[in-house]
């Protein structure tokens, strides 16, 4: 996926970002990856995530791409979004990660 522009003259199209640390001892496995992508799909925005400072940005709405990150416990997931619901999307995804993907 191509890089999103760093800034835009339209506030609605501004790039919003956030980050949270993976708490689950098994990392970002299938169950949390599906929860993350399902939540991302519920927002009208282009959303990307990456694992770690140097990770590759991937489409947060793609379960396959998210699972391929192979993000481990203690790793930081960075989230960025652009579009009508970018701010809400980033806040929701960061909160989900911080809640340990609502682990039981």
- Please report, in tens digits, the pLDDT of each residue of the chain (104 residues total): 344 444 444 544 789 999 999 998 999 999 999 999 999 999 999 999 999 999 999 999 999 999 999 999 999 999 999 999 999 999 999 999 999 998 75
Q: How remote is the C-alpha of 44 from its chain's centroid? A: 14
CA distances from 104 to 32, 97, 99 (A): 12, 14, 10
- pTM, 2 dp: 0.85
Contacts of 54 (CB under 8 A, 6+ apart): none
Q: Out of 5, 26, 29, 102, which one is annotated catalytic?
A: 29
Tokens standing for residue 55: 């990770």
Catalytic residue list contains 29: yes
């Amino acid at each position: 996926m191509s890089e999103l522009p760093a800034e835009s003259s339209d506030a609605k199209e501004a790039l919003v970002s956030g980050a949270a640390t993976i708490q689950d001892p098994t990392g970002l496995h299938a169950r949390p990856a599906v929860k993350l992508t399902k939540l991302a799909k519920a927002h009208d925005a282009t959303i990307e995530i990456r694992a770690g400072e140097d990770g590759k940005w991937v489409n947060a709405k793609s379960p396959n791409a998210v699972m391929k990150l192979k993000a481990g416990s203690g790793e930081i997931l960075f989230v960025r979004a652009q579009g009508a619901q970018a701010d809400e999307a980033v806040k929701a995804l960061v909160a989900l990660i911080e809640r340990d993907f609502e682990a039981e």
